[in-house]
């Protein structure tokens, strides 16, 4: 997580025009780590993984820790002229020994993953290759789902019963130019879209810290509040602290206020979204991998720029955040208790 951030910040300190993205992988780090550690199988007969383009720095950072990339390559992030640098986004022509598939521009990855899964099924059905143990994974952003290519073949995947395919949509509620659905709820919209197209839908919305609250919520006040809160308001809540969330979210209803009356402001601030909970993500990926007869999609709710605090967490400017000052770097270090 730190190396992904540091790579982009360092590159832009030297060359401010290089660009790069900090907030995307920060929101999806737990998704990637759960997949890499427990589900994405490598090797010649391993899984096929399509990676969200803007999260490429996180994949490079992990590869560095694994010894697959060295420091000199990280120092040449987005500096490919002459060879030896790291491409902006996944691209096997530029890095043939690293990336399996190109996934930029936005929208090309999802439709490519669907047809890859279909091709794997074709190879098996024709007796050309045993692909029964291989799975196709695709990790995307919620804003990317607005691209026509992203949703153009969803019904084909269901019609062909491609249960060798799982999409994971990182729903951090933001795109390049603002909220994905400021006045609505993108996760509910995507749930309807995928379910209507015949997919198995798994939602990972709230972390384990919420479980006790759900168990005590006999009047379903929480569910009502969640259903009535648009994504734009979730973004504001995500950028604020426990006191603000208590007053503006839980304070709107006496039943909600009573539900969290035993929690401190710090405990309220620690209530995570589901896409940052490793246990919840593992359960979702395991269920998707085991599901038969349909392709699966996991809709994981996250915060854009998770961990960046006042420097960008859940703020509308975070997608374009390329540089951080020393105070912001120290805050990020302290947030994750990094030995730096």
CA dihedral sign, ordered 199, 175, 52, 283: negative
Contact 301, 204 (CB under 8 A): yes
Beta-carbon contacts of residue 40 (< 8 Å; ≥ 6 apart):
46, 47, 49, 137
For residue 199, the Cα-to-chain-centroid distance in whole angstroms is: 19
pLDDT at 183: 95
pLDDT at 317: 63
CA distance linking residue 98 with residue 91, whole number of Å: 9
> What interhelical angle do 2-14 and 23-38 show, nearest 10?
140
Q: Please classify residue 338 by burial: count the beta carbons closer than 10 Å to its beta carbon, then call 0-12 exposed, 13-18 middle and 19+ buried.
A: exposed
Contact 52, 46 (CB under 8 A): no
Of 316, 304, 312, which is closest to residue 329 (Cα–Cα)? Answer: 312
pLDDT at 323: 72
For residue 331, the Cα-to-chain-centroid distance in whole angstroms is: 22
Instruction: Return phi, psi of residue 109, to 5°.
Output: -65, -50
pLDDT at 321: 65
CA distance linking residue 231 with residue 98, whole number of Å: 36
CA distance linking residue 266 with residue 249, whole number of Å: 15
Q: How far is CA 86 from CA 56, 92, 95, 264, in A?
A: 10, 11, 8, 45
CA distance linking residue 107 with residue 148, whole number of Å: 7
CA distance linking residue 27 with residue 239, whole number of Å: 13
> What interhelical angle do 23-38 and 56-65 show, nearest 10?
50
pLDDT tens column, 126-141: 999 999 999 999 999 9
- Ordered strands of the 136-141 beta sheet: 48-50, 136-141, 165-171, 296-301, 200-204
Q: Which residues of the chain have pLDDT under 50?
A: none
pLDDT at 226: 97
pLDDT at 82: 74
pLDDT at 318: 64
Mapped onto helix, strand or coil, the DSSP state of residue 171 is: strand
Pairing, β 136-141 against β 48-50: parallel
Beta-carbon contacts of residue 17 (< 8 Å; ≥ 6 apart):
none
Q: Is the model's pTM score more than 0.85?
A: yes
């Amino acid at each position: 997580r730190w190396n992904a951030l540091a790579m982009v910040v360092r590159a832009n300190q030297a060359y401010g025009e290089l660009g790069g993205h900090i907030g995307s992988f920060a929101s999806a780090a737990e998704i990637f780590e759960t997949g890499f550690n427990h589900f994405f199988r490598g090797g010649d007969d391993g899984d096929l993984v399509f990676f969200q383009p803007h999260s490429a720095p996180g994949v490079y950072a992990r590869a560095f820790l694994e010894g697959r990339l060295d420091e000199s390559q990280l120092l040449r992030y987005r500096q490919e002229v002459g060879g030896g640098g790291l491409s902006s986004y996944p691209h096997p022509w530029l890095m043939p020994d690293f990336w399996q598939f190109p996934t930029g521009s936005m929208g090309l990855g999802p439709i490519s993953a669907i047809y890859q899964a279909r091709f794997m099924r074709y190879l098996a059905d024709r007796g050309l290759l045993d692909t029964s143990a291989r799975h196709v994974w695709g990790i995307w952003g919620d804003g990317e789902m607005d691209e026509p290519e992203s949703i153009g073949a969803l019904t084909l995947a269901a019609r062909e019963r491609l249960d060798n395919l799982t999409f994971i949509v990182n729903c951090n509620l933001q795109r390049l130019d603002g909220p994905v659905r400021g006045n609505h709820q993108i996760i509910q919209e995507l749930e309807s879209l995928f379910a209507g197209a015949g997919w198995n839908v798994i939602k990972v919305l709230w972390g384990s810290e919420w479980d006790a609250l759900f168990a005590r919520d006999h009047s379903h006040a929480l569910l009502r509040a969640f259903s009535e809160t648009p994504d734009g308001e979730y973004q504001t809540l995500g950028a604020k602290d426990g006191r603000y969330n208590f007053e503006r979210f839980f304070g709107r209803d006496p039943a909600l206020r009573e539900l969290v009356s035993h929690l401190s402001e710090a405990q309220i601030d620690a209530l995570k979204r589901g896409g940052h909970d490793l246990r919840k993500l593992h359960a979702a990926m395991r269920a998707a991998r085991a599901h038969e007869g349909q392709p699966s999609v996991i809709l994981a709710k996250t915060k854009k720029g998770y961990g960046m605090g006042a420097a960008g967490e859940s703020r509308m400017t975070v997608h374009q955040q390329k540089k951080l000052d020393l105070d912001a770097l120290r805050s990020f270090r302290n947030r994750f208790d990094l030995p730096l």
